[in-house]
Structure formats: structure tokens, C-alpha cells
């Protein structure tokens, strides 16, 4: 199968062009990208290309039409302008290609356009123009919404793949881990700012207490500062607020350095209120660091929800982390899902 990930986001937002139109490897996906809001999300889509030994291209780049001609199956990513995306998807299908659509499932995006009926109509038509839609297990959040819009395209529900054989390069011995990692404080997301301080408060409450295999959580809280405040001022404010806590505030890191930073901690807290994939949750489990799930709190992220399901089944935090990263979120499972769908799709005529 010639598998192409085609990022259509830049059609409406040219500054978002981040993809590389070349063969992807794990190092390409995770080796040298700066970890920040503009490039972090597409990494998950790069991993689909890597899992399928495929390529990734951003539209409009000079040779994107050549790449589509090479492919027989296209994973088309769309978000900001579904009307334009639909036109491109229909053009791809006219060339005899199978198209798996992938909307960037973000609660903020849907809420932003909730009163824009024209946008919702384009959303519906774009989804129904695809042969299938790739979505995360949290599709249940949107299930009623999709049904109401009469979206009838087949759904392929699967979590983001990780190259789990690479985990050994990041995981360190548990006795070398200290403290709590908190998801980043962001600049422009009011809901995430409110959750960030909630996460900080939960972290203070956990210090000195047992968790999972650890008899005691070490007194250190680390967070990433992705705001206009200086690291020094944010650190001083937090240490004043969290009397007796040692706080480290760091700038956004390259993805590789970011993973290695998480790996030095005993636990991650990332109670994200938005209906998203949960990249920080997944990255944490990738490096062997379990998530904190307070009693009575339901995760709203994809990966957090998977983790919570494992905990509910009786697994320890460490067992849940390994279950997700060694049995669910693997390249092998992704290849199996898409290959099986491809075989079924080719067994019936393609209708345009």
C-alpha cells in the first residue's frame, strides 16, 4: 500500500505548513521538532505515516499533486476550512484514491463554529465525502453530534500509534525518578489555564504521599511555561503560593528533550478540560510515567480515558501505562487496522 498523509490545514492557514514531503522514519517524526503549540499536534499525524511506511505532504506545497499521484490511500487531515478540504478530497477521489478523513478533533474548534451553520454543513459534507473517518476512541463525545449532522461515513476508531520499540531510549529506572510533571501553562487558552492551576494544586497535595509503586512522591513540581511571563517570575509566584514546594519552571523544549524531561518524574498530572487527544498523557505513558487520576474525576482526553478504563479494570498505574503502550498504541496495531480496512474497501466498488 502506498500510504500518504495529506495535511490540508495550511490551505486556509499557510503559516501552519509543517509537514515534510518525504519518506518518514521515527527519527523524522520525533527527533528534531520544537515542542510547542504550532508543531506538537502534527507529530501524531507524522506517526501514522511512519507506522504505514508512508509519506506526509502539506497542501499547498509544490509537489503535493505528485505525491497524491504516487499514493493509493490518502489520510486527509482537515480542520479550519472543511469547504475547501472537501473540494480537494473530491479531487483526490476522482483520481481513484481511497480517502480516510481525519478531522482534528478539538472541542474548541467545534465550539468556535457551533453557531456557524454554513461551516457545519461543510463539515458534514466533507466527512461524508471520505471513504472512512479516522477518529480516536473519544468519538463517543461526538457520537450524538455526528449522528445529528447525518454523518454516515464509516469510522475507524484507533489511538495514535507510537514506535514503542523506541521507549527504551527514554525510560529510566524508577528509583531515579523524582517529583511530578505538570502539563504546560499555555498562553491563550482560558480553560487550560484554569485547569493548569488545578493541576498544580493537586500536585502539592500528592507530595509526600504514596502512589503506585512509590512509597512517597518527592517534593518537586515541574511545569512548562508557554506564556509571556518569564520563567523566573512564574516560579517565584508558584513557590509563594505553594509554600514549602520546590518548583521548576522550564521553557518549551525540543520534543526529544521534552520526553526525557517527563521521564525523570514519578507521575504526570494533566487534567485537560477540553475534548482532545491528550498528547501530554500519551507522551508521559510512552516514557513509562503513569498518570494521576483522582477519585471521581473522569478524563476527557482520549489517552486519559484509555488509561482510566485500565485502572477501572483493576490494573495498577504502572500496568495501565504498559497496557496502552505495548498492546494498543503500536505501529503494528495501526498497520493492521488500516490494512484490514483497505482490503475491505477494495472488495467493493468505489463510488464518487
Pairing of strands 221-226, 247-250: parallel
Can you tell me the distance from the alpha carbon of 82 to that of 12, in angstroms, rounded to the nearest whole number? 9
| Greatest Cα-to-Cα distance within the chain, rounded to the nearest angstrom | 67
Contact 156, 338 (CB under 8 A): yes
Q: With a cut of 50, say whether residue 37 has pLDDT above it.
A: no
Instruction: Give the model's confidence band at 188: pLDDT under 50 very low, under 70 low, under 90 confident, else very high.
Output: low
Domain segments of the chain as ranges: 3-161+330-345, 166-328
**Are 3-161+330-345 and 166-328 the same fold in CATH?**
yes
Q: In what order do the strands lie in the sheet with 180-186?
A: 247-250, 221-226, 180-186, 267-269
Residue of higher predicted confidence among 44 and 341: 341
Class of domain 166-328: alpha beta
Can you tell me the distance from the alpha carbon of 176 to that of 225, in angstroms, rounded to the nearest whole number? 24
Contact 52, 29 (CB under 8 A): no
Taking each helix axis as running N to C, give the angle between helix 279-286 and helix 255-262, from 0 to 180 degrees, rounded to the nearest 10. Answer: 70
Helices (H), 218-330: 231-241, 255-262, 279-286, 302-312, 317-323
Lowest mean pLDDT: which of 127-136, 294-303, 305-314? 294-303
CA distances from 270 to 80, 116, 226, 306, 311 (A): 26, 31, 15, 14, 16
Cα-to-chain-centroid distance, residue 23: 21
E-state strands within 50-142:
55-58, 73-78, 98-103, 132-135
- Phi/psi for 59 (5° steps) reads -100, 130
Can you tell me the distance from the alpha carbon of 66 to that of 45, in angstroms, rounded to the nearest whole number? 20
Residue 19 has a pLDDT of 42
Q: Which conformational region is residue 22 in: left (phi greater than 0), alpha (psi within -120 to 50 degrees), or beta?
A: beta
Lowest mean pLDDT: which of 7-11, 118-122, 159-163, 302-306? 7-11
Q: Which residues pair with 330 in a beta bridge?
A: 162
Q: What is the dihedral of CA 59, 60, 62, 66, to 10 degrees?
A: 40
Residue of higher predicted confidence among 179 and 327: 179
pLDDT, tens only, 244-292: 999 999 998 888 889 999 999 999 998 765 556 677 888 999 999 999 9
Lowest mean pLDDT: which of 14-28, 120-134, 188-202, 338-352? 14-28
Q: With a cut of 80, say whether residue 133 has pLDDT above it.
A: yes
Contact 39, 29 (CB under 8 A): no
DSSP 177: -
Residue 31 has a pLDDT of 42
Residue of higher predicted confidence among 340 and 27: 340
Q: With a cut of 80, say whether residue 142 has pLDDT above it.
A: no
CATH classification of 3-161+330-345, choosing from 3.20.20.70, 3.30.70.660, 3.30.9.10, 3.40.50.2000? Answer: 3.40.50.2000
Residue 29 has a pLDDT of 46
Amino acid at each position: 500500500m502506498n500510504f500518504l498523509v495529506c495535511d490540508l490545514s495550511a490551505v486556509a492557514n499557510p503559516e501552519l505548513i509543517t509537514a515534510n514531503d518525504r519518506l518518514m522514519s521515527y527519527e523524522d517524526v520525533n527527533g528534531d521538532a520544537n515542542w510547542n503549540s504550532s508543531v506538537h499536534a502534527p507529530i501524531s499525524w507524522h506517526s501514522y505515516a511512519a507506522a504505514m511506511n508512508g509519506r506526509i505532504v502539506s497542501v499547498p506545497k509544490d509537489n503535493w499533486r505528485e505525491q497524491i499521484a504516487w499514493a493509493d490511500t490518502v489520510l486527509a487531515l482537515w480542520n479550519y476550512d472543511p469547504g475547501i478540504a472537501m473540494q480537494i478530497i473530491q479531487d483526490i477521489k476522482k483520481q481513484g484514491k481511497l480517502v480516510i478523513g481525519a478531522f482534528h478533533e478539538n472541542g474548541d474548534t467545534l465550539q468556535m463554529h457551533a453557531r456557524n451553520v454554513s461551516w457545519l454543513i461543510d463539515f458534514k459534507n466533507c466527512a461524508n465525502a471520505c471513504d472512512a473517518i479516522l477518529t480516536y476512541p473519544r468519538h463517543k463525545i461526538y457520537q450524538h453530534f455526528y449522528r445529528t449532522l447525518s454523518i454516515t461515513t464509516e469510522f475507524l476508531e484507533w489511538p495514535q500509534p507510537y514506535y514503542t520499540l523506541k521507549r527504551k531510549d527514554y525510560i529510566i529506572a524508577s528509583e531515579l525518578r523524582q517529583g511530578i510533571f505538570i502539563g504546560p501553562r499555555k498562553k491563550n487558552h482560558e480553560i487550560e489555564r484554569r485547569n493548569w492551576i488545578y493541576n498544580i494544586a493537586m500536585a502539592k497535595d500528592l507530595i509526600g504521599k504514596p502512589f503506585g509503586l512509590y512509597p512517597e512522591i518527592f517534593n518537586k513540581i515541574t511545569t512548562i511555561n508557554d506564556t509571556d511571563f518569564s520563567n523566573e517570575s512564574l516560579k517565584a509566584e508558584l513557590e509563594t503560593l505553594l509554600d514549602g514546594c520546590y518548583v521548576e519552571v522550564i521553557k518549551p523544549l525540543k520534543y526529544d528533550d521534552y520526553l526525557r524531561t517527563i521521564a525523570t518524574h514519578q507521575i504526570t498530572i494533566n487534567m485537560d478540560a477540553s475534548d482532545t487527544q491528550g498528547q501530554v498523557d500519551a507522551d508521559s505513558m510512552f516514557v513509562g510515567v503513569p498518570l494521576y487520576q483522582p477519585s471521581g474525576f473522569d478524563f476527557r482526553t482520549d489517552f486519559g480515558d484509555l488509561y482510566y478504563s485500565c485502572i477501572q479494570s483493576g490494573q495498577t498505574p504502572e500496568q495501565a501505562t504498559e497496557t496502552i503502550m505495548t498492546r494498543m498504541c503500536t505501529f503494528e496495531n495501526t498497520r493492521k487496522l488500516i490494512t484490514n480496512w483497505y482490503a475491505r474497501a477494495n472488495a467493493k466498488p468505489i463510488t464518487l
